[in-house]
Amino acid sequence: MASFSKSSSKAGTGVGGGGWSKAKHQAVGGGGSTLERIAQIELEISRTQKNKATAKHLGELKAKLCKLKRDLLEPSGGGGGKIAGFEVQKIGDARIGLVGFPSVGKSSLLTALTGVQSEAAAYEFTTLTCIPGVIYYNDVRIQLLDLPGLIVGASTGKGRGRQVIATAKSCDIILMVLDPTKDDSQKEMLTKELENVGIRLNRKPPDVSVRPTKGGGVKFQSTVPLNHFDEEVCVTVLKQYKIHSADVLVKEDITVDDFIDVIDGNRKYCKCIYVYNKIDLLKLEEIDEIARRPQSVVVSVRNKWNYDYLLRRLWDEMEIVRVFTKKKGQFPDFSDPLILTPQRGNRQFNVENAVQLLHKSLLEDFKNALVWGSSVKQSPQVCGRDHILHDEDVIQIVKLTQAEKAKALHGKKTGTTIAGSNIKVDPKKKEEKAPKS
């Protein structure tokens, strides 16, 4: 076996006076149901002090915990079929999920924004299935899903929590509907439930690269000072995932939880807006304080307050770029824009991505594009594939002519053609055969 760093040879042994005995190791990683093992590991983590001496041990426990939770939420084999009401077809240009505890006003908000009637009442668990609706805003169709109310323990499959969170994971943006008359514990509990199933709110993926190799052990590099993570913890976590050789490059100050997210891979990094409903029950000073919180919007479904601002915030968070198309000699088509959005994989809002949305085969005949709008200095301007488009730009695709395609196909610099024949001569061989002077 390839050599390890010194940390790998001590994995699973005592931790800096922490008394990590073999009996304890078997207790948290041994028999019992998955839920029991999760509870045992969580208890052990809560009892362990966080310091440099226990960092390796905590990393090992957290890696085990992550794997057990994944097994719990994604059981292998057997199991029941699809849950009625949760198989919602993805339509439109973005998907937004309404998440919250029961009876905070999610159903009423869906009805107010989309016109779709979702059963609502002043008691818990009114909504039992996933109710879809569509918002039409700025020429864009936005699918809004009213998910059943989350309860504490949903991430362990309690109630319909597993199906609710799985659907929430397919959303581009989460609207967390909260009751401002209650304390912030509701927000913390919802965030924890979503964290437990791999949904990371208002966070970016850690800038970490892990490339498994066939041998050579773990090669660890960091371009920044690390305060909560080191090579020893890295090797311990990788060992839990049966990765014994890898090149690891860390480009930001991360924690062991961030590193586990990178290794596990099954994570959803999602923007979240906290919507505080029922503000008509609060004083003006309280409303002002809540409205100033990061990523927060205050509304009143009963009085129809602040809907316009909520929609504007949603639009800003989606970062959608609309591109209108134009045929030669005709006016632009402003009725059906091309939609570029980072949530659907468009990492760059360039001409190439816009052309692909029209039809992938167009790229084969693509010559250049005429662009009108704020992304160019003059309108129109001839642009290539890599030109970055702005919202409401207009593009006209210029295709290669038959002569240009033939030239591109046969005019490659692979050699010189002998006059009067189809025989090609490699210039290098021609130089070799030439007599030396």
Sequence-separated (6 or more) residues with CB below 8 Å from residue 423: 417
Tell me if 333 sits within 8 A of 325, measured CB to CB: yes
Task: List where CATH 3.10.20.30 sits in the chain.
Answer: 321-405
| Cβ 148 vs Cβ 100: under 8 Å | no
Strand 140-146 versus strand 131-137 pairing type:
antiparallel
The predicted model gives 409-429 an average pLDDT of: 51
pLDDT the model gives residue 279: 94
* Helix ranges (DSSP H) in 48-175: 55-73, 106-114, 161-168
Contact between 200 and 267 under an 8 Å Cβ cutoff? The reply is yes
Top pLDDT among 31 and 233 is at 233
Select from 373, 395, 374, 392 the least CA-distant residue to 384: 395
pLDDT for position 104:
87
Q: Which two tokens stand for residue 231?
A: 């090579």
Going along 267-332, which residue ranges are E strands? 268-276, 296-298, 321-325
Cβ count within 10 A of residue 252: 13
Residue range 358-366: average pLDDT? 85
pLDDT on residue 206 = 94
Mean of pLDDT values over 328-352: 85
CB–CB of 416/404 below 8 Å?
no
Contact criterion met (CB below 8 Å) for 106 and 176: no
Q: Stretch 270-289: mean pLDDT, rounded?
A: 94
What confidence category does residue 90 fall into, taking pLDDT thresholds of 50, 70 and 90? confident
Is residue 27 predicted with pLDDT exceeding 50? no
Beta bridge partners of 321: 340
- Of 218 and 346, which is predicted with more confidence? 218
Weakest mean pLDDT among 5-9, 124-128, 273-277, 347-351? 5-9
What number is the average pLDDT over the span 311-339? 92
* Cα 180 from Cα 105, distance rounded (Å): 12
Structure token digits, residue 148: 């059943």
In the predicted model, what is the mean pLDDT of residues 200-225? 93
pLDDT value at 13 more than 50: no
Give mean pLDDT, residues 95-109: 88
Tokens 């791999």: give the residue.
Answer: 198
Q: Would you call 350 helix, strand, or coil by DSSP?
A: strand
Distance between CA atoms of residues 26 and 19, nearest Å: 14
How much is the average pLDDT of 261-266?
Answer: 88
Closest by CA position to 351, among listed 393, 298, 307: 393
Span of 105-109, 297-301, 381-385 with lowest mean pLDDT:
105-109
CATH classification number, 96-203+268-316, choose in 3.30.300.30, 3.40.50.10800, 3.40.50.300, 3.40.50.720: 3.40.50.300
Instruction: Name the more confident of 227 and 167.
Output: 227
> Where do the CATH 3.40.50.300 domains begin and end in the chain?
96-203+268-316
> What is the per-residue pLDDT for 55?
80
- Helices 231-240, 55-73: inter-axial angle, 10-degree rounding: 30
What pLDDT does residue 22 have? 42
Region 165-182 average pLDDT: 87
% of the chain surpassing 90 pLDDT: 42
Residue partners of 381: CB distance under 8 A and separation at least 6: 370, 371
pLDDT at 422 over 50: no
pLDDT tens profile 29-42: 455 677 788 888 88
pLDDT, residue 49, reads 81
Q: Which tops the pLDDT comparison, 27 or 285?
A: 285
Whole-model pTM: value is 0.74
Classified as helix, coil or strand, 93 is coil
Res 21: pLDDT? 42
**Is domain 321-405 in CATH 3.10.20.30, yes or no?**
yes
